[in-house]
Amino acid sequence: MTITPEQQKEIEAARSNASQTLRPTVAKIEDILFNILPVLDHGFVRVIDYMGDDAAVIQAARVSYGRGTKKVSEDRGLIRYLMRHSHSTPFEMAEIKLHVKLPIFVARQWVRHRTASLNEYSARYSILDREFYIPETTQIAEQSKSNRQGRGNSVDREQAAQIIALLREDAERNYNHYAWMINEDERGDITDQNRSSLARELARINLTLSTYTQWYWKVNLHNLLHFLRLRADPHAQYEIRVYADEILKIVASWVPLTHEAFLDFRLNSVTLSAQAVDVLQAFVGGNRVSRETSGLSAREWEELLSRFPALKALPNP
């Protein structure tokens, strides 16, 4: 990840500029505000602004005149109650704004979350940085056999090295041709006075999906948790999951009670289908059920057993 001295100076200037406010503040977020939190080889997440905290959720749920909080145990209980019963609107009352640098193929997944505000760096107007995502060797894996849209076993080291070399060479060559076509260096100076400068909006189409872009992303806590539920999940592609993991840590600092409730009632919860409830109910009552009579598909059955390994130890019907 490359930060220019100018960018570093801008960040420091922003961090040196404190004011008084009557709004709720969160010390742990103030501590990291504007700082670069690195993700992948050239990416980052930066917290630019935030509104509210755990108490803001409570305040809105109570439509209160003041801060609305009571004892910590009551506040925690209310937040857990709201999360458990999918009373989602109070969680919309806190908001966060992030500056994110990320590869374009990750951006394409990210943007499918429509309920957020977004300003992306414009490649019609500006020149993109010479930065591409190149996976580490440990990430070079085969198409999964079981999960038809994910990764399976590692690729052997030699072939992995070939793949990495290809990804790097192609990204760099295409960027070099991009720079040649726009006829500008990275500061925007004309390279060759005798050539035309191709419109940036056209030249960029030569870049690979591994090229980095960046954006400002602003989202409320409810929609952020929904994003995290899908993207911090093991089924999400690794390259977006590492962003979700980094943001989940920010959430833990920002709204610890909500974060705890989110882990318990969402991220680490298990949803049982009507059929799975019957199976489990039978087991608890001492009646063994076979996969065939359960009404579950092979995959659901497997998932149930992986969540409740004790079931496997029980004698078959």
316 binds a copy of itself, rule: CB under 8 A: no
What are the Cα distances from residue 222, in Å, to 45, 197, 287, 308? Answer: 19, 45, 41, 30
C-alpha count within 13 angstroms, C-beta hemisphere, residue 168: 11
Name residues contacting a copy of itself, limited to 207-226 (CB under 8 A): 207-210, 214-216, 218, 220
Buried b (16+ CB within 10 A) or exposed e, 154-175: ebeeeebeeebeebeeebeebb
Q: Who contacts 57 (Cβ-Cβ below 8 Å, separation ≥6)? A: 79, 82, 90, 91, 93, 94, 221, 255, 258
Interface characters, 74-113, with a copy of itself (x: CB under 8 A): ---x--x---xxx--xx-xx-x-x-x---xxx-xx--xx-
40, 133 Cβ separation under 8 angstroms = yes
Nearer to a copy of itself, 159 or 293 (CB): 159
> Does residue 120 have a known ligand-binding role?
yes
Separation CA 232–CA 239 (nearest Å): 11
290 binds a copy of itself, rule: CB under 8 A: no
187 binds a copy of itself, rule: CB under 8 A: no
54, 184 Cβ separation under 8 angstroms = no
Total interface residues for a copy of itself by CB under 8 A: 142
61 binds a copy of itself, rule: CB under 8 A: yes
- Which one among 42, 43, 52, 227 touches a copy of itself, defined by CB under 8 A? 52
> Does residue 89 have a known ligand-binding role?
yes
Name residues contacting a copy of itself, limited to 256-285 (CB under 8 A): 263-265, 268-275, 277, 280-281, 283-285
> Does residue 109 have a known ligand-binding role?
yes
Name residues contacting a copy of itself, limited to 12-51 (CB under 8 A): 13-15, 17-25, 30, 33-34, 48-51
Annotated catalytic residues are 231
Phi, psi of 218 (to 5 degrees): -125, 130
Name residues contacting a copy of itself, limited to 239-258 (CB under 8 A): none
Nearer to a copy of itself, 3 or 249 (CB): 3
What are the Cα distances from residue 139, in Å, to 12, 211, 298? Answer: 34, 18, 29
- Which one among 75, 129, 130, 167 touches a copy of itself, defined by CB under 8 A? 167
69 binds a copy of itself, rule: CB under 8 A: no
54 binds a copy of itself, rule: CB under 8 A: no
44, 36 Cβ separation under 8 angstroms = yes
Residue among 40, 44, 25 nearest 210 (CA): 40
> Does residue 254 have a known ligand-binding role?
no
> Does residue 204 have a known ligand-binding role?
yes
Phi, psi of 36 (to 5 degrees): -85, 120
> Does residue 177 have a known ligand-binding role?
no
Name residues contacting a copy of itself, limited to 112-131 (CB under 8 A): 112, 114-115, 117-122, 124-125
> Does residue 277 have a known ligand-binding role?
no
- Residue numbering of the annotated binding site: 89, 109-114, 120-124, 204, 220-222, 226, 231
